[in-house]
Structures are given as structure tokens and as C-alpha cells.
Structure 1
Amino acid sequence: MFLRFAFLLLAVLFSADSVAELSAPNADKGGPVDFQWGVKIPLHDGIKLNATLYHPQGQKDPLPCIFTLTPYISQTYHERGMYFAAHGYVFLTVDVRGRGNSEGEFTPLLQEAKDSPEIVEWLAKQSYCNGKVTMWGGSYAGYDQWATAKEFPPHLATIVPVASPRPGVDFPGFNNIYYSYDMQWITLTSGHAAQDNIFGDGEFWDAQFEKMYSGHRPFKDLDTIVGNPSSSFQTWLAHPAVDAYWDSYSPTPQQFAKIDLPILTITGQYDGDQPGALSFYREHFQYGSSAAKAKHYLVIGPWDHAGTRTPTAKYGGLTFGPASLLDMNKLHKDWYDWTLKSGSKPDFLKNKVAYYVLGDGAEQWRYADSLDAITAESRPMYLTSSNGSANDVFNSGSLMAAKTGSSSKPDHYVYDPLDTQFWAWDPTDSSEDNLTDVSGLLASSGKILVYHTPAFAQDIELAGFFKLPVWIALDQPDTDIAAAVYEIKADGSSALLAMDMQRARYRQSLRNAEFAKPGVIERYDFDHFTFIARRIAKGSRLRLVIAPVNSRSLEKNYNGNGVVAEESGKDAHTVTVTLYHDAAHPSALYLPIAASDKSATKAQ
């Protein structure tokens, strides 16, 4: 079965929309719809894009237009087109350049900032459009809304970017560590036709990634191993750190400052592209005007990537309350009615930020003035161990409120990148319960570091982002390290809350490599954990796990000082990672303690 890198670090740009669409809410069917296939949208360079047009039957007056721009073949969004046309909008599903029935050559992501603004302005001139144009979509179609907004087409009236990846942030890798999945996605979007059956063959992809992993082949060979040599893949690998190439995909600070549209950002706690979505959100708030920020709303549900479009009550072994099952079609329609038709603000948006709290007895939507206002304080729990050995779930170190003493001995683990039997976060069987299955941790005894808090004497609500500054020394110039936080309930069951990972050479900056000096103790800041909102039950503990990154799902770092994508087994170095937690090196996990919210709306 295809290995899963936990739940959130795999930026899944294809989210099984063909399946999600079938289960989209449709209780309110609206009115009859007229349909036109094969609408051609001309671009300035002579290329014509293919679109499918939906509009209310017998439409006489021009209406606002919604379009989605997708590499996943426009018929995938037939159900969405029918819904919005039945509820008073013109809706177009548009194949991106080089995909589906559109002309030209597909260059992933980068092309949309050029083509999409032309679509906006072409639509504004059509007789069925009243000059107000917006966009719909998540994942790739969420990203291209930001790519469009940064070019400021005059008739773009609002955007609703959902689960938006951000190149250089969470795709095609996370913290400069690439995904094997990149080649799976590139194959999905190769050529003009749909490649979903190839994409969805987990056993096939598992076998391809295994060839690279077990054979200790360089990551740059993956496209050849798969059988689909890719210039896009090689171009991405040629930019292993954040640089001007990755910057070119996103708005500049000056462009963020000028974006002055109503914006509704949507993501999920378990959305693999939450880092990208919130990166766009944060930078708009960093650079945007007060007036622009006042028009930007944020929704963070309990969902995974696909659930941001069509929420489900279960994911990864967890079950969510009924209030989590928002009718996303209706939320979009209400937003469009407000911003395009002078309707009232959607009832659901009671404040600028809506977020869903998980946990026994919680399961409710909360509201806050801002993302930062969700967290009241960041409370440290200091790492310690009794004998300098915290290498086992059942013989762990501790997370304590008081700082550790000066004599606290450091902990360490030894990691051999040629060990293909180890990956702490992969289930040892084909379990789909990837948030609750700890079999991989148990099988990794002795090769990881584990720390537990005492059992909580009362419920405690966490909301925001974990932070983990730790003091580490390596005996090699580089390695990849992951950190994960779990809730461990009184009955022994667990739930993975959030993860982060980093490549040691980028510990100071994702833009500049600086190799570690053997034996030198340095502070490593794990500060890219994803957002969580969860009530931790009385009697539960938190578990922190720190471990090597070693998976066929990810680019292998052989712990040397070369170009990681070019290194192979012959370049492997076993590394000892030593973690310090004495008085001079106060390693700590900072807990985001939730602010009280009197406007909370409890789930029924």
C-alpha cells in the first residue's frame, strides 16, 4: 500500500474531487440549468482554452460569473456547475492550458498568473455576464485564485481560495524536503487526458517508490524510475531552497499590499495544504491595508484536504461532530450573494475567523477577531529525562512545567539512512487510521526520542500552533528531523495532533544552506507545526516524538554535505543526533493555550 507521510505534510493537489463531487450537498436543487460544452476562450498568444458553460435556464439578464480553472479536466466539476447555475450564477469549468480540451503546453502552476486574468476580462465582456467575475475551487484551483489576484484584473470582484498550496512552502515539498508524490502528481497531469486510474493505483506507486528507496537511488532519478521523465520535476529539484524561482509563483509584498478584494480563505486542521493557505493569509495581513484586511475572512474546519470542499464526519480514525459537516456549496453561494449581489453577510461568519474545536465534549465552532487572537498564551513544557535515555514509548522522557536542572543528561538517537525498515509514522499494516495508528512508533523503539507530559488534572483547550525550540548537536553536517505531538487518552488510545520537520542545513533559513559543525550545540526551531484546536481531556497526556525522516514517501537525506537530490547510498553517513535539555539549553514544547470565546456556538 502507498506509504502515507502522516496526515498533513503531503500536499495533495489532487483531492479525489471526482469522488467528492458525487457526495456534494444537493438537498436544495434550485432551478433548471442550461448547458453549453466546448466554449472557446481566446488568449492573447492565440491559444484557446476549453470551457463548459452552465447558466440558469432561460437566462435573460446578465449575471455574475464564477469560473474554476483546473488541470483535472473540467467535467470533474459538473456537479458544482449545476449547483451554482441552479442558484442564479453563470458558472464555467475551464481546462488549464495544455490539459483537457485546451490548447497549448501545460506548465504546472506558473502559467495561471498569465492566463487567468485574461479569462476574467474575457468573461466580463460576454453578454451573459454583468461584469462581476469571481472564482471557485480548492487545491490547485485555490492556488490559481491567488495567482490571478496578484495580477489585478479589473473585473475580479472577490476570491474564495480553498486549501491553497503555495509553491516553495508546501509544494512540491515541505521545508525544502521534496515528496515522492511529486511524480505521482506530475503523471496525473501528463498529456491532455485524465490519468486518474494510473494516479490512483497505490500498489503501482508503492512499487516505484520502493525501487528508489530500497535501491538507495538518487531522488533525481525518480522520474526515470517511474517511467515518465519530467522537465518540471527536474526544474523543481534544481531549486532545493526557497529562492526567486519559488517567489515568482506568489504575490510580492507590494502586490499583497494592493490586493483589496473580499476574500474568504478556507482550510482544515488536517489539510495537507494548510501551510500554504495560511501563508497566503498571513502575508496578506502582514502587507495589506486595514480596509483590505477587514474584508478577509478565514475558516479552519476539522477536515482533511478533500474535506475542505466536501466535509466528511470521519478522517484518519477520528470522528467529528455533526456541526463539522458544513454545506460548503451554500457557504460559497452565501459569500457570492453578499459580495456580488449586495446580499447579507453569511450567517456562518460570525467573526473574522471561524475555527472548529475537536475533542470529547467540545466539537463546536468558535470565533475570533484574528488568527493570533485564538491563542491566549504559549505555555512551555520543558524536556527532560532521568538517565539520558528517552528512546521508547514505554521508557520515555518527560515534558514538565518547571525548567530542568543543570545536571540533566542529554538524550540521543542514532540514524542509519541505509536502514529501510524504519519509519516511525507509517503504520505497519494497511490501516487507514493514520491519525490513531501508533504501530510505527512501537516498532521504532530505540531509534526515536519520546517525551510525555503528566496526565492533565482537568480539561485543557489548545488552539493555535505548537512551537518546539530544541538544542541539538550532530556528528554529521546534515540530517532530516521530524517532530510530532499526540494526545494520549486515559484509555491508551491516541490521536496525532500536528507534525513538523526540517533539514538541518536549513535550520537558520529556508533560503540559505549552512551545514552543521560536528559536536556544536545549536538551537533548532520547529515552528512550522500546523494549526490545531482541540480540547485535551482530563487524564490525557501529550506525547512528543522526535525522530529521523526516513521514508520512501520523501526525498532521502544521506546526511552528507552534497546536493541531497543527487546523493545515493554510497554517500550515506550514520548520524548521532544528541538533544540537550539542561539549564543552559532549555528545550521546550510550547503549548498554544486557547483564549476564551464567549461567542462560541456549540454543536447540537
Structure 2
Amino acid sequence: MVESIAARTALRDRGGNMAKMALAWAALFGLVAAAPASAQPDQSDGAKVRLEWGVQIPMRDGTRLNATVYRPKAEAKPDFCVFTLTPYISESYHERGIYFAAHGVPFLTVDVRGRGNSEGQFRPLIAEGDDGRDVAEWLARQPECNGKVSMWGGSYAGHDQWATAVRRPAGLATIVPVASPWAGVDFPFQNNVTMPYVFQWMMFTGGKALQPNLAFDSGFWNAMLRDRFEKGLSFRSLGQSLGGDQAVLKEWLDHPMVDEYWDSYNATPEQLAALDIPILSITGSYDGDQPGALKWYDEHMKAATPEQKARHFLIIGPWDHAGTRTPRAEFGGLKMGPASLIDMNRLHLDWYRWTMANGPKPDFLKKPVAYYVMGADTWRHADSLAAVTARETAYFLDSAANADKVMASGSLAAADPGKGKPDSYVYDPRDVSLAALESEVDPTMLNDQRLVLAKDGRQLVYHSAPFDRPTEISGFFKLKAWIAIDQPDTDIQATVYEIDGAGNSIQLSSQVIRARYRESLREARLVTTTKPLLYDFDRFTFVSRQIAKGSRLRLVVGPINSMFVEKNFNSGKTVADETMADARAVKVSLFHDRAHPSALYIPFGHP
């Protein structure tokens, strides 16, 4: 999200199997949203723009927000206007402002309350809805505006759009929320598991100005996190060791699971039902905020009338978080085809003109849902998100021996439930032997399997047979696993990969479950039995990929033992307060017999 700054940093935001989950945090807080050159306006665009800096916009409580206004230089009648509301200083979106104004659209970049040159106190995501409403209504009254207003932006600014829209400000005609977090889904934790990047982000946005050197010094952060990991210090003490007030962080850590506190950050069903403007939602297969973006989409579709649903479009591209605003053909060691490189600025313009200026419908929006199939370099279109998946097939887990090694794995087969004995691994929180390798592995790679291979004997692995033809997988994986543990709590992650004929790996999707939240993210229930219990991994991220002929699927089920993640020491105490002194080794057994049919449900796409 901080496009001009992240390009100068090398934040190590992911590690091993935690690649997508850790990316959720760096993504949410905009730490890795570098903008490639294609996002820049033409050199001649600047000559077409009038800029006014330091415009003060009054809020209804008397606080004034600072804005930079970009206007078309050519004289024209009033037109629709667009603004973005950001904690990352309005100057960060100068290139976007130049682009839109050069194409005839007045564009404002506005510092949120308490950031940049705006007055007030900054509390993340608290005031943006009310302030966004006031900005929208103020802008609609300006002489260059014809009374119709929209918004632009992703991640934090995507949440701002939803928060503003549900307050139904006069003049707001449409929104285009991109990579939008939903509190309790992917902010400030995912599945109730938190990461250190929340501390980095608080440093980055502390005070009035951006502080990238404090937040993005990867050498400092990696050394500190490794030292803390190896010493077994508590997650909560990280904030204490960094100094400062940390009031918001303390508040967040005091609410470690989904509850009414986090609900207050989001919209109610009644608010979403009253939202009757056109909406274009955008996310990516590797967007760390995909869970939040799709939660907003799903909740609105549940609440909306048929007429409202017909005006909500969804795009899921082959992008990481940065790519949701500026698509890139290469990221994370993966290469996409030329069809992936949508001109997002142009798509926004076309959408604005269709919804606010009686222009033609964008050609790209052939149906309500558009999604890119990786490996096939093609876009497909569907009438709904559910219609993306043609069929869901259960692939049952089985093994002939303990499936704890990559080269001696268990199997995934669409036949009868397994017949083998339970597979098991032991996770000992006192084992910090992989910290050195985790420090060396390039954490941005989605195709690096060194950590998976290094965890042999400490995780469970299952492979499907090779596919006999190219096969599209589109939708959401699910895993129903019968698991027994001999401690009151632990964290278990399931990750799915494509393994090609040469043995190369591509991460597709993953999910983590903290055992105490196996039944509900809103209620902690420690495990009190050593009998197998059903764990429903039903919050995998969306993926669409054509699996190559000769490729297999790999499922890895194992612990999270990473310096980049809040560590569960398995004691059953509050995880943020646990230390190495609380550590308990846990034996995790995965059953796959007829009485306990564990299965990976694969979402096959349309042929």
C-alpha cells in the first residue's frame, strides 16, 4: 500500500509454510505494495494537471483533514470526483492523482485523522467511516464536482471505502474496494493467530510522519525476532521491549479472538442491506487481504436484494497484495502470462464513467465474477463465486507407514476412506533448530520448498497421483481431518502445493487452526481428551490454477514453529503471554480409517 516506500525496502515478511499467512500481515498494513513502473503516469500527464496542496476539509466535530487536490488543467464543466483516505500520507499517491486528473477526473488524496498534516488523534480504522462520509459530502458540494463522488484505494483504503459507504453519505455514487481487510478475519490476526508485523506497522504509522527506517529494517527485525524466538520470550513482551505508549497494541492483544470488540470495526448486516450503490470488489489469489475482501463481498451478497447483488462485481486476479492495484507478471518466484496484466487505472476509469457518467459498461466485466486461471493465462467469468467450482471431490488421506517424510509420504486418492493406522508427529516448542535456515531462506518465494524438506519427521505429508491431463482447480480447498492431541492446545497448519513432474513446488493455499478455536473463532475450548476430534479446515484462501499434466498435489499438515508468528507453547494459557517455561511437547495424531475418514476436498474448475 505504501507504494513509493516499499519499493526501497526488502522486508522479510514470510517464512516457509507460513508464506501466505505472514503475507496477510505485510499485505494488510501495506508493507510490501511496491509499485512497478507501469503504475506511473505518462511524463506528459503532469502538464495537464493543476495541483493544490494543503486543502483543509472540516469534519463535523471541527477537526480538519489535510488534502492534496489534483484537478484537470483544461477548463471543463463539473464532473464526478474521486478521493482516497490514507494513513500513509497523501503524498504517497501523487502518481495516482496525476493520472486521474490528467484523464479528466478531479482526485483528492486525504490524510486520515491524526496522520500527515491532518488534525486529531490517529486510532487505526476507528474514525475513517465517519470522516469518509464527511469528506464525501464536502467534496460533492465543491464547484468542480457535479455531486457524484467515488473512492479509490486498497488495503487500509479499501476498508475505508466500505466503512464510508455503509454510512450512506450524500453524493457517494459507487465504490471500488480493493484488498479490503475485515477485522477479526485478517486483521489484526488470521484465525486468531497474530504476527509481529502488527508491531512493525504501529512503528510505521506512529506519530504524524511515515517511519520506514524503523519499520522496514529487515536486518534489525530478523535478528531481533530470531533472538526472541530462540530465547522463548512471550509475544506480548515484544511491544514492551520496543517502548512507546503501545496503547492500541495492548488493546488489540487483550482481544485475542473474534468478539464484539472486533465486530465494531465492521458493518452490520442491516448496514450492508441498505447499501444500494454499484460496487466493484478486487482481490488476488495471493493477496494477504483476500480473506477480508471476500468476507465483505460475501456479507454484502447475503444481505443484498437481487437488484443490489446484480450491481456488485468481483475480480480475483493472479496477484499478491501489491498487484491488486498494479499487476505484475512476476512475484514470489512465479511468472504469470500477459493476460494477467490488467491496466487497473484504466479499469477504474471505465468503472467510474459507467456508474457515474452514463459511459459504456467495461468490456472486462462480462459476468458478475471474473477470475484468472494461473497456468492457463486466461480469464474466466461466472455468475457467482460458488459457480467458479464445477465439482468438489473428496481425496481421502491414507498411508502404509507413518507419513512424516516428503519422500515416504501418505496418499490422497478419490476412492474409499483410508485403512491405515494414524500418522503422527511431535511438536516441541523448545526445538528452535530451524531458525538459522528460516533466516536464510528468501521468504518472498512461493516456490521454495527447503523448509518443507527440512521439517521431515516433524510434519505429515500426503501426495495425490500425477494428473493425466491439465486440470483446472478453482475455488476453495477444504480439509476434514480427525486429529488427536495430548496437550490442551496447539497450532496446526494445512498447506496445499502443486508439485510438477520435475519435483518443483508451487504453494496454492493454506489455513491454520489453533486447537482451542477448532469449534468457533468466538469461543476458546481447550482440548480435554486424547480421542480424535474433527477439525474442519474450511477457511482456505481462494485459488485458481491449471495443474499441469504430470503434476501432483501435496498436502502438508504440521505445526507452526516460526520466528515470524505468535508462538503457541501448547500449555493452554493465553498464547501471547506464554514463554519457553510453559513449553509442552505435543503429539499430534491424524486418523484416516473408515470410522475417521479424513479427506481433502478439491475444487475442480470447469473443463
Are the aligned partners of 2:80 and 2:356 in contact in 1 as well (CA < 8 Å)? yes
Change (3 A) 1:254 1:408: same
Distance 2:91 2:34 in 1: 12
Q: Determine the structure 2 residue equivalent to 1:390.
A: 403
Q: 2:543 aligns with which of 532, 553, 572?
A: 532
* SS in structure 2 of the partner of residue 300 of structure 1: strand
Tell me the secondary structure at the aligned position of residue 20 of structure 1: coil
Q: CA deviation at 1:535?
A: 0.7
Q: 1:167 aligns with which of 183, 204, 223?
A: 183
Instruction: Identify the match of residue 412 of structure 2 among 392, 396, 399.
Output: 399
Task: Point out the more displaced range, 587-596 or 196-205.
Answer: 196-205
Whether the aligned pair in 2 keeps the contact of 1:208 and 1:225 (CA below 8 Å) is no
CA spacing shift, 1:376–1:398, aligned 2, 3 Å: same
CA contact (8 A) 1:318 1:436 kept: yes
Q: Unpaired runs of 5+ in structure 1?
A: 597-604
1:2 corresponds to: 12
Tell me the number of residue pairs that the alignment of Structure 1 and Structure 2 aligns: 591
**Please, what is the CA RMSD of the aligned residues?**
1.7
Shift in Å, 1:428: 6.3
Find the counterpart in structure 1 of residue 505 from structure 2. Answer: 494
What is the rounded CA distance, in whole Å, between the counterparts of 1:225 and 1:541 in structure 2?
45
Q: Using the alignment, how far apart are the partners of 1:423 and 1:139 within structure 2? A: 30
> By how many angstroms is 1:422 displaced?
3.8
Partner-residue secondary structure (3-state), 1:442: helix
Q: 1:239 to 1:18 in 2, by over 3 A?
A: closer
Q: TM-score, normalised by structure 2?
A: 0.95
Cα deviation, residue 518, structure 1: 2.9
Equivalent residue runs for 1:288-299 within 5 Å = 288-299=304-315
Matching of residue 152 in structure 1 with residue 168 in structure 2: yes
Answer whether contact 1:474 1:517 (CA < 8 A) is retained. Answer: no
CA–CA distance in structure 1, aligned partners of residues 462 and 144 of structure 2: 62
- Shift of residue 408, structure 1, vs aligned partner: 1.8
Cα distance, 1:482–1:17 mapped onto 2, change above 3 Å: closer
Deviations 1:519-566 (CA, angstroms, capped at 9, x unpaired)? 121100111111111111111110000010111211111112211111
**Paired residue for 1:223?**
239
Counterparts in 2 of 1:364-375, with a 5 A limit? 364-375=378-389
Q: Which residue of 1 aligns with 2:8?
A: none
Work out whether 1:418 is the aligned partner of 2:449. no
Correspondence 1:257 to 2:273: yes
Asked if structure 1 preserves the Cα contact closer than 8 Å seen for 2:19 and 2:444, the reply is no
Name the CA distance, whole Å, in 2 between partners of 1:8 and 1:274: 10
Alpha-carbon contact 2:403-2:460 (below 8 Å) kept: yes
Aligned to 1:248, which of 264, 282, 301?
264
Residue 88 of structure 1: how far off its partner (Å): 1.3
Aligned partner (choices 216, 235, 247) of residue 200 of structure 1 = 216
What is the rounded CA distance, in whole Å, between the counterparts of 1:3 and 1:252 in structure 2? 32
- Measure, in 2, the Cα distance between the counterparts of 1:421 and 1:59: 66
From the superposition, tell whether residues 18 and 305 of structure 1 become closer, same or farther in structure 2 (CA, over 3 Å). closer
The residue type equivalent to 1:24 in the other structure is: A
Give the C-alpha shift of residue 58 in structure 1.
4.0
d(CA) in 1 for partners of 2:331 and 2:352? 29
- Whole-Å separation in 2 of the counterparts to 1:555 and 1:381: 31
What CA distance in whole angstroms lies between the structure 2 residues aligned with 1:46 and 1:223? 33
Cα shift at 1:25: 5.0
Q: Does 1:24 align with 2:24?
A: no
Q: How much has 1:222 moved relative to structure 2?
A: 1.2
CA shift in 2, pair 1:221/1:50, >3 Å: same
User: Aligned pair 1:378/2:388, yes or no?
Assistant: no
For the Cα contact (< 8 Å) 2:497–2:553, is it kept in 1? yes
1:561 paired to 2:585: no
Distance 1:22 1:110, change over 3 A: farther
Q: Distance in 2 between matches of 1:58 and 1:518?
A: 73
Gap change, CA 1:242 and 1:382, over 3 Å in 2 = same
Counterpart-to-counterpart distance in 2, 1:315 and 1:539: 24
- 1:149 deviation in Å? 1.2
Structure 1 residue 170 displacement after superposition: 0.4
State the Cα distance separating 1:451 from its structure 2 match. Answer: 0.3
Deviation of the 1:42 alpha carbon: 0.8
Q: Does 1:466 align with 2:477?
A: yes
Deviations 1:490-545 (A, max 9, x none): 11111011111010000000001111123121100111111111111111110000
1:57-76 equivalences under 5 Å are 57-76=73-92
Q: How do 1:185-196 residues align onto structure 2 when only pairs under 5 Å count?
A: 185-196=201-212
Indicate the larger mover: 523-532 or 396-405. Answer: 396-405
For residues 420 and 378 of structure 1, the distance between their equivalents in structure 2, rounded to whole angstroms, comes to 39
1:115 to 125, 131, 137: 131
Render the CA deviation track for 1:245-275: whole Å, top value 9, x for unaligned: 1111111011111111100000000000000
**Structure 2 residue 354 is the aligned partner of structure 1 residue 350:** no
Q: Cα 1:18–1:172, aligned 2, differ >3 Å: closer, same or farther?
A: closer
Letter in 2 for 1:64: F
Please give the per-residue CA displacement for 1:453-500, whole angstroms capped at 9, x wherever unaligned: 011122211000000010001101100010100001011111011111
Alignment of 1:131-150 (within 5 A): 131-150=147-166
Looking at structure 2, the residues matched to 25 and 17 of structure 1 have their Cα atoms a distance apart, in angstroms, of: 17
Deviations 1:34-66 (A, max 9, x none): 000000011122211100000111434222110
* Structure 2 CA distance for aligned equivalents of residues 193 and 570 of structure 1: 39
Q: Is contact 1:375-1:594 (8 Å) kept?
A: yes
Q: Which residue of 1 aligns with 2:28?
A: 13
Q: Secondary structure at the match of 2:392?
A: strand
**Inter-partner Cα distance in structure 2 for 1:44 and 1:212:** 46
Closer/same/farther in 2, CA of residues 234 and 247 from structure 1, 3 Å limit: same
Kindly indicate whether the alpha-carbon contact (under 8 Å) linking 1:7 and 1:270 is maintained by their aligned counterparts in 2: no
> What is the CA–CA distance in structure 2 between the aligned matches of 1:377 and 1:423, rounded to whole Å?
41
Q: Residues 434-449 of structure 1: matches in 2 within 5 Å?
A: 434-449=445-460
Amino acid across the alignment from 1:127: P
Residue identity in the other structure for 1:506: Y
Alpha-carbon distance in structure 2 between the residues aligned to 1:433 and 1:555:
19
SS at match of 1:157: coil
Tell me, which stretches of 5 or more residues in structure 2 are unaligned?
Answer: 1-10
Which string of whole-angstrom CA distances, capped at 9 and with x for unpartnered residues, describes residues 328-365 of structure 1? 00000000010111101111111111100011xx1111
| Deviation sequence 1:147-181 (CA, Å, 0-9, x none) | 11111112111000001111110011100001111
What is the identity percentage for the equivalent residue pairs of Structure 1 and Structure 2?
53
Taking the aligned partners of 1:55 and 1:13, their CA distance within structure 2 comes to 30
TM-score, scaled to structure 1: 0.95
Q: Distance in 1 between matches of 2:271 and 2:590?
A: 42
On the 8 A contact 1:21/1:79 being kept in 2, the answer is no
What's the secondary structure of 1:404's corresponding residue?
A: coil
Q: 1:592 is matched by which residue type in structure 2?
A: P
Tell me what 2:336 maps to.
320
Could you tell me how far apart the structure 2 residues matched to 1:423 and 1:458 are?
39
3-state secondary structure, aligned to 1:398: strand
Structure 2 contact 417–598 (Cα < 8 Å) conserved: no
Separation (CA, whole Å) in 2 of partners of 1:420 and 1:112: 42
Q: Which letter maps to 1:532?
A: V
**Which sits farther off after the overlay, 428-437 or 94-103?**
428-437
Which residue identity does 2:72 align to in structure 1? P
> Match of 2:3?
none
Measure the CA separation in 1 of the matches of 2:12 and 2:106.
40
- Is 1:90 aligned with 2:106? yes
Retained in 1: the 8 A contact 2:14–2:20? no
Aligned equivalents of 2:557 and 2:430: distance in 1?
A: 19
Structure 2 vs 1, CA of residues 191 and 249 (structure 1 numbering), >3 Å: closer, same or farther? same
Moved more, 250-259 or 33-42: 250-259
**Could you tell me how far 1:199 is from its partner in structure 2?**
2.0
1:363 corresponding residue in structure 2: 377
Give the 3-state SS of the residue equivalent to 1:100 in structure 2: coil
Distance 1:96 1:2 in 2: 27
| Correspondences of 1:294-309 after superposition (within 5 Å) | 294-309=310-325
